[in-house]
Amino acid sequence: MHKQFTTDDRYLYWSVFSAVLQANDVATPETMRPILYKLALRLIAAGSTPSYVNPDRFFVHLLVLRELEQFDDAAKLLDHEIGQRICQTSLVCDELRRDIAKLRGRSKDEGELALKRISEKKDRNWLEFLSVLDATFYDITSSSDTASDEIKASVSEQITKARQVFTDAATEDGPKDRSGLLALLELEKRTKSHGLTSDAPDLRSQAENYFTQFGDKACCYEDLQPYVAFEGDDRTQWTSFLEAFKPFTHTESLQRSINVHKLIRYTLSSDELTPELETVRAEEYVKNYLEALKFSADLPDTELQPADDFALLAGHAYVSLWKLTNEESHLQSAVAILEYASARSKQSYKIRLLLIRLYHLLGAPSLALEIYRLMNIKQVQTDTLSHLVLSRAAMWSLAPLGDITYMSECMESSQIYMANSTETAEYIARAFSTERYSQIIDFIEFEDRLDNSLQRDLMKVEHVRMRVAHEVLNAELVDMELIELKFIFDRIHHDNRDFEIIPNYQPQGQPSLNDQTLSFKLPGAGWLSAYLKMYIRVFQQASDLDDSVEDKLLIGDRPKPSNDPENQQPLRERLVKKRDDEIEDLTEDEKLFYEYASALAEWLSPYHDYVRPPPSALLAEAAKANDLKPGHPLKTLAQEANGSTNGHSKKTEEPPAIKEPPELVTKFFDDIKARFDKAVTDKALPSELLHIVAIAQEAYLLFALETIRFKQSSVIKQHRLGQLAQSFKDIRTKASSALTDVSAVLAKMGQQLGTADGRKAFVEASSSIQTSSGFDHDFVLNVAKKATDARKQVFDGIAKGLAKVVKNHS
């Protein structure tokens, strides 16, 4: 096309960028990548017009030169007048220019250029300030050896020069721009970290100066947090300085007061984190919140309440109290005040995020899901935020009773991945047609991160766990899930989940609120790998399909081949290997379940292989079914199946010797029941109890899947496996008894949760912070009723579901 349309190099650059994309593809061997970049450079040189006639073509040219490490050629383009002009107007080209300068070791030159831009052109781009800071300490950071006195003296001179420029910028900007003061804070922090002395005001004085000017800004806490980890006298003086700004009389001083409380809380020492002091702080936060509401009484529902952060601080304090005392009443107090704050500020997503976590801890998942849906999560947010309600969702699901709420939520949250496969491709095509090459890279990365999203496959596994409990276990379910799980097994995943969105105002040195409110370890790539191995192995054994049959019958896309040497090994060998990262991601109960599933599969593998019909029989059945369909028959299937029409012919070889079931299998249900009984005795949180129950139910279903092939008495008789069938009966009887007892205890606990005494205890937990204006006894009672009813519902539902699973598979 380029040869036909020689007046325009568009098609030439399409070829250039296609070579670049192929070089960046993970499936491209390392040895091929330099060749592809050299090809791209030759094509650019063959163009009829120079690359700088178009900013995006210029970007591609620089990108290729950077990858080939031809930095001198890239510098010639950048030093050209047109190249400089392009970098002034194109952010992507300027970013590439900075990167090339660092790779060339020209950070100091970049710093000098940034100094001129800040002082002469009044540029307040934070990247310019960072360039100055990096250049200032370059002589120290670029060497692994200890800096000599001469180098330290030189760096000190650079520090003085940079400080003057930053001070001038801060003085000139005043309250209009905070970049100058932030740069001074960063400069003093780096000076201190490198052990250099300075005659300038210390870090605490700089922080006080910043707070005086920008303490009434919502961003003040996040700006100062990296710089205020003071100790000793500095911490005492910093706290005394902040105390003077605590009172508030209007909206402007309210935001400053909120920042004061956040900063004081952040600098608390471990000695100050006692139940008594945290109780005082929590009550102070609630009092300030209720008092501050009067400043926004006339705000419409669409606006955020300025006092919301006081409610969040109260929630943080109550969570801290719960961690210190292990008393559930503090979580109930947090829920009460946050529910009130959420009702007053309907658009405060931070409050809702914390409520979701708290309701999960309290065993009220239906309320957490209700709040999540009120947030109206859409598009790519379902990939980044669905973990809030769908992590280990199987433990909350009432799928055995026919309730597919969580299964539906998994399907709805997966819509973005299907949309991505079509819509993103269209965006890429449009970007090609308009020569927006820098955007193409972003679109392809976006597409890849969604296609290989960790959350996508975590949701898939949760859906499988719930589907197995909901549907009849048959060959169709087994074969379909086996094919789909094998498809995702070798993916290289991207973790796109957003945890930073959860606010954190806990003291330094303490776990973040996100970590404190997690019911269990967060499922990660290791957890996913462990569960994929368990279910693929179980489905493989329960299925009549082997790899040869699957390759002939399956139509459609196949997984991309992986270059990872570990993935070149046979699938069966990889399924039995256990990695450390898998074990680390599992809870103690999941570890026990993993060992049980592995032992069960290892024990039954020889008998599955013996009973499974030969591939020729399956192909014969497929060919016969295909002949009944309109259209052309699949002749290859008929040819493969020629000579074999009966898959149930009597085996000529002897069956494998019958072995006793492993101890891990025979004792599993007794062990899991003992863990459940101990959790009940220790008054564990509802989420911990339900997690144990979910593992017990899943283990029972896995046993049902593994033994479904041997359910028919004719199979047992034909293959002489009577002793094996007796082992199944003994294990099933013991498991049914244990799970029936667990179900009865759960049902009894559910009845107790919905009583008036339970609601009364919930209300009394927050009696010290209740007032007569809105947040009163009646409001908290309604919250208590809603929470206790939700807990009763999930306990009753899971108890009945567990009993139904036992009945269906006994």
Contact yes or no for 686/791 (Cβ under 8 A): yes
The answer to which of 63-77, 144-158, 214-228, 662-676 has the lowest mean pLDDT is 144-158
Helices (DSSP H) in 297-364: which residue ranges? 308-325, 328-344, 349-361
Would residue 57 count as lying in a domain? Answer: yes
Does residue 201 come out as left (phi exceeding 0), alpha (psi in the -120 to 50 range) or beta? beta
Element (H, E) at 35: helix 33-45
Domain membership flag for residue 60: yes
Q: CB of 389 within 8 A of CB of 441?
A: no
559 closest CA partner among 494, 485, 615, 495: 485
The pLDDT of 272-301, averaged and rounded, is 90
Interval 464-480: pLDDT, tens: 999 999 999 998 999 89
- Average pLDDT of the chain? 89
Q: What is the pLDDT of residue 7?
A: 53
Nearest to 266, CA basis, from 225, 298, 233:
225
pTM score above 0.85 = yes
Q: Is residue 195 part of a domain?
A: no
- Say how many domains are in the chain: 1
Asked whether residue 30 is domain-assigned, the answer is: yes
Which residue intervals of 194-245 are DSSP H helices?
203-214, 220-224, 232-243
634: left (phi over 0), alpha (psi -120 to 50) or beta: beta
User: Across residues 17-22, what is the average pLDDT?
Assistant: 93
C-beta of residue 542 within 8 angstroms of C-beta of residue 705 = yes
Domain presence at residue 734: no
Tokens standing for residue 565: 């040497």
Tokens representing 217?
């800004």
Ordered DSSP codes for 690-704: HHHHHHHHHHHHHHH
Q: How many CB atoms lie within 10 A of CB 50?
A: 15
Residue 39 has pLDDT above 80, yes or no: yes
Residue 254's CB is within 10 A of a number of other CB atoms, namely: 21
Res 718: pLDDT: 85
> pLDDT of 525-563, one tens digit each?
999 999 999 999 999 999 887 766 666 555 555 556 566
Domain region containing 78:
1-104
> Measuring CA to CA, which residue among 334, 752, 262, 290 is closest to residue 516?
334
Q: Is the pLDDT of residue 394 over 80?
A: yes
- Hey, what amino acid is at 451? D
The angle formed by the CA atoms of residues 446, 448 and 454, to the nearest 5 degrees, is 100
Q: Which two tokens stand for residue 589?
A: 């109960």
Q: Which of 579, 563, 806, 564 is nearest to 703 (CA)?
A: 806
- d(C-alpha 127, C-alpha 115), whole Å: 11
- Whether the pLDDT of residue 330 is over 90: the answer is yes
C-alpha to C-alpha distance for 220 and 178, rounded to whole angstroms: 10
CB 485 within 8 A of CB 464: yes
Residue 776 reports pLDDT greater than 90? no
What pLDDT, in 10s, does the model give residues 116-127?
A: 999 998 999 999
Say if CB 662 and CB 603 are below 8 A apart: yes
pLDDT digits (tens, 9 = 90+) for 644-676: 444 455 566 788 888 999 999 999 999 999 999
Please compute the mean of the pLDDT values over residues 307-327 and round it to a whole number. 95
d(CA 334, CA 599): 44
Assigned token pair, 701: 């279903």
pLDDT for 636 equals 47
Return the CA Rg of the chain. 32
DSSP codes joined into one string, 242-287: HHTT---SSHHHHHHHHHHHHHHHHT--GGG--HHHHHHHHHHHHH
Query: Given a cut of 80, is residue 460 above it in pLDDT?
Result: yes
CA atoms within 13 A on the CB side of 175: 7
Give the bridge partners for 494, in sequence order. Answer: 453
138-162 per-position pLDDT tens digit: 988 887 777 788 888 888 999 999 9
- How high is the pLDDT of residue 2? 47
Given a cut of 50, whether residue 634 has pLDDT beyond it is: no
State the Cα–Cα distance between residues 79 and 61, nearest whole angstrom. 14
Per-residue model confidence (pLDDT) at position 755: 82
Whole-number percent of the chain with pLDDT over 70: 92
CA 607 vs CA 593, 709, 728: distances in Å: 22, 10, 13
- Name the helix (H) or strand (E) containing 788: helix 777-809
Give the number of C-alpha atoms closer than 13 A to the C-alpha of residue 645, restricted to the C-beta side.
Answer: 3
Q: How far is CA 397 from CA 90, 406, 750, in A?
A: 51, 6, 16
Q: Is the pLDDT of residue 699 over 50?
A: yes
Of all helices (H) and strands (E), which one includes residue 465?
Answer: helix 454-470
- What pLDDT is attached to residue 635? 44
Alpha-carbon distance of 347 to 344, in angstroms, equals: 9
Q: Is residue 86 part of a domain?
A: yes
Q: How crowded is residue 447: how many other Cβ atoms within 10 Å of its Cβ?
A: 17
Helices of type H across 647-776? 663-666, 668-681, 686-707, 713-718, 722-753, 756-765
CA–CA gap between residue 384 and residue 302 (Å, rounded): 24
- The answer to whether residue 611 is domain-embedded is no
Give the Cα separation of 465 and 427 in Å (integer). 35
DSSP string, 95-114: HHHHHHHHHTT-HHHHHHHH
Question: Residue 182 falls within a domain, yes or no?
Answer: no
> Residue 515 CA to chain centroid, in angstroms?
13
C-beta separation of 362 from 323 below 8 A: no
More confident residue, 728 or 8: 728
